Amino acid sequence: MKKIEVNNLTKIFGSNPQQGLKRLLNGDQKEDILAETGMTVGVNQASFSVEAGEFFVIMGLSGSGKSTLIRLVNRLIEPTSGEVLIDGQNIVEMGKNDLIETRRKKLGMVFQQFGLFPHRTVLQNVAYGLEIQGVKKEERNKRAQKSIEDVGLQGYEQSYPKELSGGMQQRVGLARALANDSDILLMDEAFSALDPLIRKEMQDELLNLQNKLGKTILFITHDLDEALKLGDRIAIMKNGEIVQVGTADEILENPANEYVSNFVKDVDRSKVLMASHVMKKPAVHMMDKSGALAAVRKMEDAGASSIFVVDKENNFKGLLTIDNAIDAYKKDMAIETVLIEDIHEISPDTPLNDLFGVAVEAKYPLAVVENGKLLGIVSRVSILSGLVLGKEEVTTL
């Protein structure tokens, strides 16, 4: 089910937005409109939809219109044209009371600079949304208390925002958005003001919370790594337009245009998993005097139907399957003659993403070879677990 649906949403700042809109629809460029009329196109005919329970990230550099876009979704900024459907209802055409009701019941928001009320305690901040709905004090404090616990801030209920660190303040911001129990969370650069360690911690906790609570999240960021980590799907914005929407893999592998590929090129290489991160030490058969029978025993010990063969210097020779080994033993042939040699050899710094295709087609595990020496093997299972677990977990295994 679509929770948020945005169709042709446009925002033009300036003296005569309707005229600007006409020019935009005629295909005029944003730059020309600015130069000739002084009007700024903030968001240009953006369309996307967010499914219930989805984590949808909008990513763009500053000035790309992403913060304007998220404010159009809850109408903190009035759209010039287009529609925003929240649970199928067009928020753009709502009257004042319906709009307020929708904001209260369906949309929570978290801000980059936290936007906490400095004159209220943590508890009063978190309870604010319920307070303005007229929820009785006892009830609203109970619900606020629960979301304070959800974000791990118990004990700080009576503190004022200025007494808390940035990370804790944003927890208050998150708790405040959760307390209303709305299905949708709008998060505007929510973690951008935090230092990297706290930021990672908050990202992890947000993912946990989303798993637990199943919120639909619309998350704005300028950080591609953050987008890749958090987003089920990512929309990339440039100059007020959405240039690509897709999963992290789709965007990494098929950038829609040069802008996106430039973005993607900057992905921190150290965060990309490589073959050496996921390879395992294989059971190997050393090619010496011992013959085919010793190789069969080794396979039995390892419970494998094939074994990688190296020479004394650990130079990779090939793969010996159990059938071939038995065959060689019966016919009393040397192992060399039955080795499968056209095994996929990959270098240790091959990115995991590039291994997908190869691994799917290969019948046997991939051999990680450097300067002719066998370093390890990569199985299909280890590629997948590497992708699921991420770098830290794999390397610490």
Smallest separation (angstroms) from other proteins to the CB of 378: 48
Residues 24-83 that bind other proteins (CB under 8 A): 71, 74, 76
d(CA 95, CA 243): 32
Among 43, 84, 107, 206, binds other proteins (CB under 8 A): 107
Question: Does residue 176 belong to the site contacting other proteins (CB under 8 A)?
Answer: yes
131: contact with other proteins by CB under 8 A: yes
129 binds other proteins (CB under 8 A): yes
Q: Tell me the closest approach of the beta carbon of residue 303 to other proteins, in angstroms.
A: 59
Nearest CB to other proteins, comparing residues 44 and 102: 102
d(CA 361, CA 377): 16
Give the strand pairing for 366-370 and 373-378. antiparallel
CA–CA dist 348, 362 (Å, integer): 17
Rounded distance, CA 288 to CA 173, Å?
A: 67
Task: For residue 101, state whether it binds other proteins (rule: CB under 8 A).
Answer: yes
Binding test (CB under 8 A) with other proteins, winner from 25, 100, 293, 397: 100
Instruction: Take residue 266 and report the two structure tokens written for it.
Output: 């900057």
Interface mask (CB under 8 A) for other proteins, residues 283-322, using x and -?
----------------------------------------
Q: Does 274 bind other proteins (CB under 8 A)?
A: no
Task: State the nearest-atom distance from the C-beta of 106 to other proteins, in Å.
Answer: 9
Among 61, 132, 381, 397, binds other proteins (CB under 8 A): 132
DSSP codes of every residue in 144-166:
HHHHHHHTT-TT-TT--GGGS-H
**Alpha helices, DSSP H only, in the chain?**
17-25, 30-37, 66-73, 96-106, 122-126, 128-131, 137-150, 166-179, 196-213, 224-230, 248-253, 258-265, 275-278, 292-302, 322-331, 352-361, 380-389, 391-396
Does 118 help bind other proteins (rule: CB under 8 A)?
Answer: yes
Residue 117 near other proteins by CB under 8 A: yes
DSSP category for residue 337: G
Give the residue, chosen from 119, 281, 312, 330, that forms a contact with other proteins under the rule CB under 8 A. 119
* Nearest in space to 353 (alpha carbons), one of 282, 277, 280, 281: 277
Cα–Cα distance measured from residue 293 to residue 174, given in angstroms and rounded to the nearest whole number: 65
Minimum distance from residue 109 beta carbon to other proteins (Å): 4
Residue closer to other proteins by CB (options 17, 376) is 17
Could you tell me how many residues of this chain bind other proteins (CB under 8 A)? Answer: 29
C-beta closer to other proteins: residue 70 or 236? 70
Minimum distance of other proteins from residue 349's CB (angstroms): 45
Three-state SS annotation for 207-250: HHHHHHHCCEEEEEECCHHHHHHHCCEEEEEECCEEEEEECHHH
Nearest residue (CB) to other proteins, 78 versus 393: 78
CA distance 167 to 191: 8
Task: Please report how close the Cβ of residue 7 comes to other proteins at its closest, in angstroms.
Answer: 22
| CB closer to other proteins, 105 vs 229 | 105
Complex with other proteins: residue 53 or 115, whichever CB lies closer: 115
Tokens standing for residue 306: 């094939």
Handedness of CA 156, 159, 164, 168 (dihedral sign): positive
Q: How large is the angle between the packed helices 380-389 and 352-361, nearest 10 degrees? A: 150
Instruction: Give the nearest distance from C-beta 174 to other proteins in angstroms.
Output: 12
Decide if residue 112 touches other proteins (CB under 8 A).
Answer: yes
Those residues whose C-beta lies under 8 Å from the C-beta of residue 120, and which sit 6 or more positions away, are 128, 160, 161
Q: Which residues bind other proteins (CB under 8 A)?
A: 71, 74, 76, 100-105, 107-109, 111-119, 128-129, 131-133, 176, 180, 186
